[in-house]
Structure 1
Amino acid sequence: MGPHPAVADVRRAVREALADLPQGALVLVACSGGADSLALAAATAFVAPRAELRAGLVTVDHQLQEGSGERAVSVARIGSEMGLGPSEVLTVTVGTEGGPEAAAREARYAALSEAAERLRAAAVLLGHTRDDQAETVLLGLARGSGTRSLSGMASVAAIYRRPLLGIPRATTVAACGALGLRPWDDPHNEDPRFTRVRVRRRVLPVLEAELGPGVAEALARTAAMAREDADALDEWADSAYENCALSDIGGSVRLPVTELEKLPGAVRRRMVRRAAIAAGAPSGALSATHVLAVDRLLTHWHGQKAVDLPGGLSAVRRYGTLIFAISPIP
C-alpha cells in the first residue's frame, strides 16, 4: 500500500521542485516546526536521497518568545532524526524598522542567506502553501498595489524555492498527522495584532462563507496569471530602459521624455521606478505614490516643480529630459 494521499502530494511537489538540481547538491529546508515546514522537511528527507541529493535543515530562533531557543533546538533535533544533515539553529536579533512582521522577515532571510552561502547550498526550501499565497494577494489588494505585488510569492526566487505553493495548508496538516509528526503552533499565528493573522483568521473565512469554497485557490491562480503579466511588462521596461537611459558619474539618471511618451503607462512607470532606484532612492521606501507623482511630470506637464523622492532624491523635467538626482538638482 502506498503512502497517505497527503504525504504523496507533498512528496510529489518536492520531487518536482528539486528535479533540475545536479546530483550531490545540498538542499536546506527552512523549518519553523509548524505543519507546513515540518511536512516539507519530512518530504525532503524522503525525496532527496532518492534523487541523489543531500538535504539539511535550518531553523531560525527569532528570540521573540520565551522558550524559543529550546523549541529551535527541538526542531533541529527532529531534522536530525529524519536524516537531514546538517541540522542547525540560526539565532537572530530582530530589529524594529518596518514593524514586527517586516523586521522578523528581514532578519530571517538574512540568516537563511548566510547559512546557504556558508554551507554552499544549491537551494533553500520554504514551506509557504497555497493559503499563504492567497493571503499575500489579499494583502496586496488592500494596499492598492500593482500587478507585481498581486503576483504573490514566486515559486523560485534566487536560491529560494517554494514547493508547496500549489498545496493547501490542510494537506500539510494531514501529512503530518499521517506521519505521526506533532507540529508546533506558533502563538504569533493567532495574534490579531499581525495583519496577516487577521487576513487568515477573519477575512478569508468570511470570503469562503459568502462566496463559496475555492476562494484561496482562485486567489493563488490569479497570482500565477498576474506574475506572467508582470514578468512580461518588466522585460519590456528593462529593454526600453537599457535603450534610452543615461547616467553620469554623480549618479543622476536621465530619460528622454519623447521616448517615455511612446510607452504604455504600465511600462513607463516601471522605467520611472527603475531610474529612481538607480539614482539612489531606497527601493523599500519608494512607493506607488512617488512613482505616480513623477509620472505626472510626463502625463500632466504644466511646468511644475521637482518631485521629492526617498533618499534625498528629486525628479524634475527639464528641456525634454526627466532627471533623477540628489537634491538640489542644478
Structure 2
Amino acid sequence: MDRPGALSGRSRAQQELIGAVRGFASTRLSGPAVCVGLSGGADSLALTAAAVRAGLQVTALVVDHRLQAGSADVAERAAATARELGAQAQLLPVDVTGGGGPEAAARTARRAALRAAAGNRPVLLGHTLDDQAETVLLGLGRGSGARSLAAMAAWTPPWGRPLLRVRRAQTRQACIDWGLTWWDDPHNDDPRFTRVRLRHEALPLLDDILGGAAEALARTADQIRADADALDAMSAELAETATVPDGLAVVPLAAAPAALRTRVLRRWLVAAGAPAPASRVIGAVDALVTDWRGQGPVAVGGDTDDRLAVVREAAGILVLRRLAR
C-alpha cells in the first residue's frame, strides 16, 4: 500500500503524523494495543497508518451508519485498507435513532458501538487542529460557556486524539505520500451543516484577516480547558459543602463566585434529569440564590411525563419538585 521508498524516506507529513502518535502513546497510553475509529476519510486513514508505523497494535473499528446508499461498500473498503496497512479491522453496522438531529444521533450510535467493540482498549480518533478550531467557533456561536470553548481534550479515556496539533492538509498529504485513497463524505461539503460553512467560509476568511486563526483558536481552547478544569475542581468542593439531604443550601452558594455557583447548579440539574439546561434556565435558578424576591418555581425540563422545577424553600434550601401535568 505504501509507494516505493515511502518507508525508507518518509515525507515531512508522514513524519509529523508518526511523531504525533508516538508522542501521544508515550505520555498517555499504558500499552501498545489500541483501536482507531476509522471512517475511511483522510484524517482517520492517516491516523491508522501512522499508528501502525508508530509500533502500536492497531484494530481499526469501522462504523457503518447505514444512512447513505453504498455505505457498506465504503466501510468494507476502509476495513480492507486497514488490513493492508497491517492493522486488524472490524466492521460495526449501527442503527441511528434518537433525537437531537441526525448528526447528534449518529455520533451517539457511533460512540456506543466504538466503546462496546474496544473493550478496555483506548480508541484513537482522527480529529485535527482544524476540527478543534471549528469546535471553538461552534461554542462561541452557541454562547454555551467556557467548557464548550475548551473544545476537545487530547485524552478523555477511552477517547484519544493524537492529531489535535496536526492540520487537516497534513493528513491528506500523508495519505498521498503513503499512496492511500480516502473517501470524502458528501456531508462534509453540504452547506446545510453549520460546521461545513465554518470550515469552507468562516475559517478561511478569519485566516485571511488575522493569519493563523485556526492555530490561535486551538491555543485558546487549551488555555480555557486548563481554566475550566480548575474551576470544575473548585466547584466540586463547593457542591460538597452546599449539598444537604433534600437539595442545595443557599448560604454557601450565595457566598461563592458566580463561576463556581453556576457550575454547581448545572451539575445538580443534569444529575436530576434536566437535559442540558440552557443559560437562561441556569440564570433563573441562580436568581433564587442571589436575587431572592419570593419568586415561584423555575421550570428546568425533564421528561414529558415528569417535568422538573426548582423551588426555594423557607429554610433556605433549593429543592427539585415534580410539576403537575
Normalised by the size of structure 2, how large is the TM-score?
0.92
Distance of 2:58 and 2:263 partners within structure 1: 39
Distance of 2:135 and 2:74 partners within structure 1: 27
3-state SS in 2 of match to 1:18: helix
Aligned counterpart in structure 2 of residue 257 of structure 1, from 226, 234, 250: 250
Distance of 1:4 and 1:322 partners within structure 2: 63
Alignment deviations for residues 155-177 of structure 1 (CA, whole Å, 9 cap, x no partner): 11120000000111111111111
Label 1:222 to 1:32 Cα distance change in 2 as closer, same or farther (>3 A): same
1:313/1:324 contact within 8 Å kept: no
Runs of 4+ aligned residues of structure 1 deviating over 4 Å after TM superposition are: none
Alignment deviations for residues 151-198 of structure 1 (CA, whole Å, 9 cap, x no partner): 001111120000000111111111111111111111110011111111
Aligned counterpart in structure 2 of residue 58 of structure 1, from 61, 69, 74: 61
Correspondence for 1:75: 78
Correspondence for 1:301: 292
Distance of 2:20 and 2:50 partners within structure 1: 9
Counting matched residue pairs gives 312
In structure 1, stretches of 5+ residues that fail to align are: 248-252
Q: Find out whether 1:313 has 2:308 as its counterpart.
A: yes
Q: Find out whether 1:289 has 2:280 as its counterpart.
A: yes
The RMSD of aligned alpha carbons is: 1.5
> Deviation of residue 225 (structure 1)?
0.3
1:275/1:324 contact within 8 Å kept: no
Distance of 2:29 and 2:197 partners within structure 1: 38
In structure 2, stretches of 5+ residues that fail to align are: 1-7
Correspondence for 1:220: 218
3-state SS in 2 of match to 1:59: strand
Query: Mapping of 1:89-104 within 5 angstroms?
Result: 89-104=91-106
Distance of 1:244 and 1:171 partners within structure 2: 49
> Deviation of residue 2 (structure 1)?
4.1
Correspondence for 2:87: 84
3-state SS in 2 of match to 1:228: helix
1:124/1:160 contact within 8 Å kept: yes
3-state SS in 2 of match to 1:202: helix
Identical positions, percent: 48
Query: Mapping of 1:134-213 within 5 angstroms?
Result: 134-211=133-210, 213=211
Distance of 1:11 and 1:137 partners within structure 2: 26
2:127/2:164 contact within 8 Å kept: yes
2:123/2:158 contact within 8 Å kept: yes
Correspondence for 2:320: 325
Q: Find out whether 1:39 has 2:38 as its counterpart.
A: no
> Deviation of residue 210 (structure 1)?
2.4
Q: Find out whether 1:3 has 2:24 as its counterpart.
A: no
Correspondence for 2:3: none
